[in-house]
Amino acid sequence: MTNLPNPIRPLLMLAAIAAVALGASACGTTTADVERGRVLFIEKCGTCHSMAEAGTTGVVGPNLDDAFQAARSVGHDSETIEGVVENQVEYPRPNNGDPAVSMPPNLVEGQALEDVSAYVGKWAGVPGAAPPKVPGGPGAQVFANKGCGGCHALAAAQTGGSVGPNLDEVLSGESAAMVQKSIVDPNAKIAKGYPANVMPTNYEEMLSPKELEDLVQYLVTETGGKGATPQGGKGAAPQGGKAAASGSKG
């Protein structure tokens, strides 16, 4: 584990908050767009950070709910947390455990930085935070919870992410097996014109089998693919090819 032990991290956080509070000149942040901040967070930060309201599950950096829970519970408000986040994005603290996995500086700048910071300030460490409920059944909820829409456009979910391909366009006519394979093993076949290693590769661990099935079903149905009939039994599991994942590195 490269992260600091749990009892130390909250103390660091309080120190960081003190430093920011000293330097802060209460510049109003009324222009921040928290909704846009959420999308940006899922896209730019969620691959490394877990945060409940965003439905992100990254584990490279600290869980941001845990990181800010203590600060919030001793009375630091959203604006203060917002300041700490802004500071960390502009001048990331080097990671003591392993500098190779430190957070890169300036992942977002200008208005985007304000939006993301306001979003994290609003939700990090808020008890019981969860992604907003969406209509459209369990698969739609998985799609929302896991932040797929931050990177992908999908008409049924009213998302407009453009980091990855528009799913209405690329999944039309695809089989459930192919859709499932693209989700759990995104680097097996890289969508043309898009970068590898951007889509998180750990959805197989992050989704329960039921969630994955619901998600695949939802995508196949909404994009008009083939095989939109659930085949509950284990024998019906898609077999993307016998060569899949023979390695066992972690």
**Contact residues for ligand HEC, defined by CB under 6 A:** 9, 12-13, 43-45, 47-49, 60-62, 64, 67, 85, 88-89, 93, 95-96, 101-103, 107-108, 116, 120, 146-148, 150-152, 163-165, 170-171, 179, 182-183, 186-187, 190-191, 194-196, 198-200, 203, 215
Dihedral (CA of 197, 120, 29, 13) sign: negative
Q: Considering beta carbons, is residue 132 or 235 the nearer one to ligand HEC? A: 132
Q: What distance in Å separates the CA atoms of residue 244 and residue 250, rounded to the nearest whole number?
A: 15
Residue 55 is classified by DSSP as T
Q: How far is the CB of 59 from ligand HEC (least distance, A)?
A: 10
Query: CA distances (Å), 155 to each of 54, 109, 133, 167, in order?
Result: 20, 28, 17, 8
Q: How far is the CB of 154 from ligand HEC (least distance, A)?
A: 8
Q: Considering beta carbons, is residue 21 or 235 the nearer one to ligand HEC? A: 21
The neighbour count for residue 232, using CB atoms within 10 Å, is 7
Q: How far is the CB of 194 from ligand HEC (least distance, A)?
A: 3
Q: Considering beta carbons, is residue 51 or 235 the nearer one to ligand HEC? A: 51
Q: How far is the CB of 241 from ligand HEC (least distance, A)?
A: 15
Give buried/exposed letters for 168-189 (b at 16+ CB in 10 A, else e). bebbeebbbbbbbbbbbbbeee
Q: Considering beta carbons, is residue 100 or 235 the nearer one to ligand HEC? A: 100
Q: How far is the CB of 179 from ligand HEC (least distance, A)?
A: 5
Q: What distance in Å separates the CA atoms of residue 130 and residue 58, rounded to the nearest whole number?
A: 16
